[in-house]
Amino acid sequence: MSRPGFSPSRRRFLLSASAAGGLVLSWCLPDSGDAATAPPAGGTSDAPAPRAEELGAFVRIEPDGRIVIGARGCEIGQGVRTSLPMLVAEELDVPWSAVTVEQLPYGARYGPQGAGGSTSISDGWLELRQAGARARWLLVQAAAGAWRLSPAELRTEEGQVLHPDGRRLSYGELAGQAAKLSGLPTDVPLKEKKLWRIIGRPTGVVDARDIVTGQATYGIDATVPGVLTALIARCPYFDGDIARLDDSRALEIPGVKRVVRLRGPRPGAVIERNLAAGVAVIADDFWSAHRGREALEIAWTQPDALDSTAMLEQRARAALRGQGSRARSDGDFAAARQAAARVVKRTYLEPFLAHATMEPPGALVQIGGDRALLIASLQSPGGASRLINAMTGIARSNIEIRLPRSGGGFGRRLANDFVAEAVLVAQAVGQAVKVIWTREDDLQNDFYRPFGVHELTATLDAHGRLTGWAHRVAATSRKYRAVGMEDEPDWVGCADPDGIPAGCVANYLSEFLPVDFNLARGWLRGPLPTFSAFPVESFMDEVARASGRDPVAFRLAVLGEPRELDYRDHGGPKVSTARLAEVLRRAAHEIGHGRRLPRGSGIGFASHFTFGGYVAHAMEVSVSDKGELKVLRCVCVADIGQPVNPRGAEAQLMGGTIDGLSAALNLQITVKDGRIEQHNFPDYPLLRMAGAPEVEVHILDSAQPPVGAGEMGVPTVAPALANAIFAASGRRIRRLPLMPQLALRRKSERSTA
């Protein structure tokens, strides 16, 4: 792939010929003032580079007809290495079977490359289609020149330009001449939907064979000649430090080269680099470093050594007796409560959660003179580039970042603390270093999903109609020591002031009460919806039953007439009640809502607007007299606009559902005596294959622009499951995770008996 430079004052389109006479297209987006100008790797064109106000990924067409499309962005399992090149290939008008996909490194010239918020598809929907259309336009111009015809008389088909008399020229034959053309228009007409041959067709992952045969390379596989391996013993007490260190036994381990102290962030300060103070053991290989780390003798300082999540819960419940900051207040909720025929009030609790990606964090960093190399599984390569620049002074144009496939992200890799660690160690030893994390390192050193206690109150009139709704949440602030969030509202990531039923009820109150706790927080898959959907959709079920109405009918009545409501958070600026109602209706239909069920079985529902998409879950479960839970059916219905790759979207919704089910059943991070109690999967038990239900996914046809599907399947799983458990057993669970609550109920019933 070529690496053209750009002017930092504007975007520009660059066109150059490869050394073999191929066509290389690149769209450039300035990312920093020190972005460099480098010659294209494949050679240069004699013609002036055409320019336009567009950006996109590379298209490389070799003379032999081989078509290479570069995949921008971070592939963390969400399928963008497949779906984004599909957009280019569609407008380029080539058969997908003829396309070779290559992962692009990080570079401002490629446009948005971060992975977060399910924005990759929506960001690329027009940009990348235009990239393909522009390449096709140039090829048609080249053919018109060769045949001395008007371009309007020509058409393209499967990688060829067709003459009216039936003659054909392949893209490979035209690439050299097309590379010399200038005068590229600003906008090239895109294909009509009826002509699509790639977009909307179920397509397999481009590197699926490599993945299942073990040939795919991940960040943890990265290596360069002479690289050393480092493992770090991190302080288990947040904001703690090294009180005493004896590394003599570690240095005696064969293969161990050095032991390096790492400073942590200042207590109370913004966490900009590494998360904790620690001691790095640098060795020739992993096992030598691991043995060396085990041999360290370290005494740690212990700030907040007596604090715990049990005490945090007490503080949160006490906070709810006071007043917080109002995120939204419609009408007069107090008056609605005073006039209500019935008031329903419930409290729900959600724990801290870890990301627990299958591939733990880690990074390889090589620093030499005025250049640096980073190879790591990332979600924010731009953030990593800025971090390395700040720590080393190396110009960002001289920082090479390679983006291997990641073994999961879920928001964990939006932070680059593991990159900072690798930079610190590489600076200390003066050669390439790969910092590797173990599972224990990962679970105990995370940016955790916030903890919260939600208090919800609803008012009903004499006819059972909803007249008021209040959602007050006492939670650990997402802003706590977070970089760049100073200007965000206090409730960001914890309160959803515009989430349904906001705008659907005249008297509505959203209030946030921050609770102090010394633990880093971060974004987790579907962060705000995942945090708010469980209390809201569980409570919606309770209020429906209190009103004497069917839970689905009650939800539809609350949504009311089809309309668009304002939505300020991610995924807005509007939320459609019609689209939300439709996924709920379809889920009810697919699960067979209203049919007679055997004793001990029940169906639960939940629906939510998430990042521009609409998802509903319907769960059918059985609960035995002994309290044993079994998920019998799991239906997921989604409206994500026009799906680019339905097979990929289906996989994401399945994966999100399983992820949400895993968290709902068993997962929580707890703290006792100032230390996290969970160490590995035995005490943070992810759902196993044998326990995972089949997920029935239904993606609605839509003419709306597409949104991603990576996070949409998570939020509604926990409330749908809790509602189903109630329908089956009459047991209402208002605290996550669910399984410990069922176990407590079984124990209580046995003791009572």
What CATH number did the domain enclosing 426 receive? Answer: 3.30.365.10
Residue 199 to residues 85, 129, 171, Cα–Cα distance (Å)? 10, 10, 21
The pLDDT of residue 265 is 96
The pLDDT of residue 38 is 32
Domain match, 346 and 374 both: no
DSSP 270: -
The pLDDT of residue 108 is 79
Give me 12's structure tokens. 């520009």
Which residues make beta-bridge pairs with 161? 156, 169
Label residues 602-639 b or e (16+ Cβ within 10 Å = b): bbbbbbbbbbbbbbbbbbbbbbeeebebebbbbbbbbb
Domain match, 568 and 473 both: yes
Which residues, at least 6 apart from 272, have a Cβ–Cβ distance to it below 8 Å? 265, 387, 483
Is residue 441 in a domain? no
**pLDDT (tens digit, 9 = 90+) per residue, 520-551?**
999 999 999 999 999 999 999 999 999 999 99
Is residue 73 in a domain? yes
Which of 171, 188, 212 is the C-terminal boundary of a domain? 212
- The dihedrals phi and psi of 239, each to the nearest 5 degrees, come to 70, 10
**pLDDT (tens digit, 9 = 90+) per residue, 657-709?**
999 999 999 999 999 999 999 999 999 999 999 999 999 999 999 999 999 99
C-alpha 583/C-alpha 586 separation (Å) is 5
Q: Which domain covers residue 367, as residue numbers?
A: 219-303+361-436
Which of 212, 229, 263 is the C-terminal boundary of a domain? 212
**H or E segment and range at residue 619:** strand 613-623
Percent of the chain with pLDDT over 70: 91
Q: How many domains does the chain have?
A: 3
**pLDDT (tens digit, 9 = 90+) per residue, 444-499?**
999 999 999 999 999 999 999 999 999 999 999 999 999 999 999 999 999 999 99
Domain match, 542 and 650 both: yes
Domain match, 411 and 533 both: no
- Residue closest to 216 by CA, chosen among 205, 227, 207, 228: 207
C-alpha 671/C-alpha 664 separation (Å) is 19
Domain match, 723 and 613 both: yes
Domain match, 334 and 417 both: no
Cis peptide before 514 (omega within 30 of 0): no
Helices (H), 370-469: 381-392, 417-429, 439-444
The DSSP-derived string for 288-317 is HHHHHHHH-EEEE--TTTT--HHHHHHHHH
Is residue 92 in a domain? yes
Is residue 6 in a domain? no
Which residues, at least 6 apart from 89, have a Cβ–Cβ distance to it below 8 Å? 67, 69, 96, 99, 132, 198
Percent of the chain with pLDDT over 90: 85
The pLDDT of residue 483 is 93
DSSP 669: B
Can you tell me whether residue 642 is helix, strand or coil? coil
Domain match, 497 and 383 both: no
Domain match, 661 and 542 both: yes
**pLDDT (tens digit, 9 = 90+) per residue, 624-635?**
988 899 999 999
The pLDDT of residue 747 is 58
Domain match, 659 and 706 both: yes
Domain match, 43 and 156 both: yes
Is residue 2 in a domain? no
Is residue 312 in a domain? no
Domain match, 559 and 689 both: yes
The pLDDT of residue 735 is 98
Is residue 309 in a domain? no
Which of 436, 462, 489 is the C-terminal boundary of a domain? 436
The pLDDT of residue 750 is 53
Domain match, 270 and 143 both: no
Instruction: Average pLDDT across each block of 10 residues of the chain; the chain has 753 residues. List them in order.
Output: 30 33 41 32 39 43 82 95 97 95 90 94 95 92 96 96 95 84 83 97 96 95 98 97 98 98 96 97 98 98 92 98 97 98 98 98 97 98 98 98 97 98 98 98 98 98 97 98 94 98 98 97 97 98 97 98 97 98 98 97 98 98 93 98 98 98 98 97 96 97 95 98 98 96 68 48
**H or E segment and range at residue 584:** helix 577-591
Is residue 379 in a domain? yes
